[in-house]
Structure formats: C-alpha cells, structure tokens
Amino acid sequence: MTLYIVATPIGNLKDITLRALEILKGVDLILAEDTRVTRKLLDHYEIKVPLESYHQHTPIPSASGGATGQGDLTKFNRILDTLKNGKNIALVTDAGTPGINDPGGLLIEKILEIAPETNIIPIPGPNAAITALSASGINADKFLFLGYPPHKKGRQTLFKKIAESEYPVVLYESTHRIMRTLQELAEFDEIKERKLIVARELTKQFETIYRGTINEILPQIEKESRGEFVIIINAK
Ligand code: SAM
C-alpha cells in the first residue's frame, strides 16, 4: 500500500538516516537500480529483505497502451500487485535521492495513475547537488539545477544559458566527460571570470573541493579526473 522513496548514501555508508534504515528493514520488498550496489548497503546494515532490480530500462505502461523499452510489463504488474495487496515497497537507487537524475519519477507517475490509493512517502537523505552547494560558499538561496549537460543536441544552447544565468548553476558530470565540459565552459568569456566550485567524490576517501576560476581549476582536474563530480558555476 505504500511505496517509500528512500535516499541512500552518495559514498559514505554512514550517511544513511535512522528512518531510512527503519523503513528498509520493515518493508516487504526493496527495488534497487543495481542490486549489487544496494546489496552492499543492506549487508552492511544486516538488512535481509527481498531485493529486486528496478532501473531506467524496466518497462512500464506507455501512453499508447504498450510498454516503454523492451520486454513486457511482468515486473511492473508484480510491483503493482504487491502494493495492491497491502504490502510496502522501498525504492532506492545506487546513490542519493531517487528521481534526481535517477529512476523513480515515471514509476511513481504510473502507479498513481493506475492505483491512486497508493501512498508515496519520501524518506529524505543525501543528494550530491545539495551536498556540494552546502559547502560551496556560494549563496544558494536560489539556484538552477540542470543535471548532466546533453552530449550533443542542445549542449551549446545550454552552455549559453549558463553563461547568462542570474542564478548559480549546478551540473552533474562523470569521469569521462568532466574535462570536456570544463574546457567547453571555459570558452565562454562570461564564465571565465566567475567563481566555480567542482566537488569531486563527495563523502568518499578522495573527496576534493576545487574552488577558483575555471582556468585555475582545469589543470588540477586534468591531473586527476577520476570520480564523480558536481560543478557549480556562480551567477553572473
Ligand atoms: N540521485 C543522485 C543524487 O541524489 O545526487 C544522482 C545520481 S546521478 C546518476 C550520478 C551523478 O551524481 C554523478 O555522475 C555525479 O555527477 C553526481 N554524484 C553522485 N555521487 C557523487 C559524489 N559522491 N560526489 C560528487 N558527485 C556525485
């Protein structure tokens, strides 16, 4: 009857809330983006609840009446039946808050469409963007969160918007693209002048927060570009 949306650590396993642990221990089923990643968390806290995968490719009912992606709706229907039978499910992703650049949104939308009586309860916790902003030293009363920059289409348009933004902009970036994204952002004169924060591997062993202009930060990242990154570009 209840689908809990549970935030999990973005690196340090101790960053899980007491409530999240209580919920994960008490539900009938945990849906995880990657069961191997979540298994480590569950083993660490000795949680022995059935675990199943639910990720961005798991088919859910589409607007046209079929299913999204490839495959059938067996899993979606089973999730729905479990909830309709009065059982409780927790949805987690590999790291951070479900639905934020992670699976969650579509599943919730479809469940509410078909079974509006389902309770959807968020269990708040870590999120990489908010964690980076909290230590940024940038006024974050208002900010623009844009997730991952697109790889091709719309990339330049987005960068232009960032260059003109009245608000600090927060981006996510991966090991493979961090250098390219920073180099391309450095091509904008408006961005070159600004204060930038690049937060790498937050809460993990090699956590590093780089602060400065983009040209000050670039050579440092070039030396060590492994990891997960949040980029914050101050407002103009
Ligand atoms: N749902 C997650 C959240 O609440 O932050 C985000 C998931 S998204 C698939 C993964 C991206 O978040 C990474 O590529 C990186 O940009 C950012 N991220 C996640 N963990 C991070 C960390 N420990 N340090 C820095 N960035 C991180």
Residues 18 and 119 both lie in one domain: yes
Angle at 41 (CA atoms; ends 1, 39), nearest 5 degrees: 80
Structural tokens at position 235: 């407002």
145 lines ligand 1 (CB under 6 A): no
What percentage of the chain reaches a pLDDT higher than 90?
Answer: 93
Single residue among 123, 141, 160 that ends a domain in this structure: 123
Kindly give the number of the ligand 1 atom that is closest to the alpha carbon of 130: 5
15 lines ligand 1 (CB under 6 A): no
171 lines ligand 1 (CB under 6 A): no
12 lines ligand 1 (CB under 6 A): no
Q: Per-residue pLDDT for 70 more than 80?
A: no
Q: How many angstroms separate the CA atoms of 113 and 180, rounded?
A: 41
Single residue among 123, 153, 168 that ends a domain in this structure: 123
122-173 pLDDT tens trace: 999 999 999 999 999 999 999 999 999 999 999 999 999 999 999 999 999 9
Domain residues for the domain of 228 are: 128-233
CATH number of 100's domain: 3.40.1010.10
Kindly give the number of the ligand 1 atom that is closest to the alpha carbon of 201: 24
Residues 43 and 112 both lie in one domain: yes
Residues 6 and 110 both lie in one domain: yes
Residues 111 and 189 both lie in one domain: no
CATH number of 134's domain: 3.30.950.10
Contact 120, 112 (CB under 8 A): yes
Residue 43 pLDDT grade (very low, low, confident, very high; cuts 50, 70, 90): very high
Residues 145 and 99 both lie in one domain: no
The residue whose CA has the least distance to atom 26 of ligand 1 is: 229
Residues 40 and 108 both lie in one domain: yes
Contact 178, 201 (CB under 8 A): no
Q: Per-residue pLDDT for 21 more than 80?
A: yes
Residue 224 pLDDT grade (very low, low, confident, very high; cuts 50, 70, 90): confident
Q: How many angstroms separate the CA atoms of 231 and 112, rounded?
A: 34
Residues 195 and 108 both lie in one domain: no
Residue 3 CB: number of other CB atoms within 10 A?
25
In one-letter notation, the amino acid at residue 157 is: T
Single residue among 77, 106, 123 that ends a domain in this structure: 123
Kindly give the number of the ligand 1 atom that is closest to the alpha carbon of 11: 23
Number of domains in the chain: 2
Contact 190, 163 (CB under 8 A): yes
Residues 21 and 57 both lie in one domain: yes
Residues 132 and 117 both lie in one domain: no
Residues 25 and 64 both lie in one domain: yes
Q: How many angstroms separate the CA atoms of 4 and 56, rounded?
A: 18
Kindly give the number of the ligand 1 atom that is closest to the alpha carbon of 98: 1
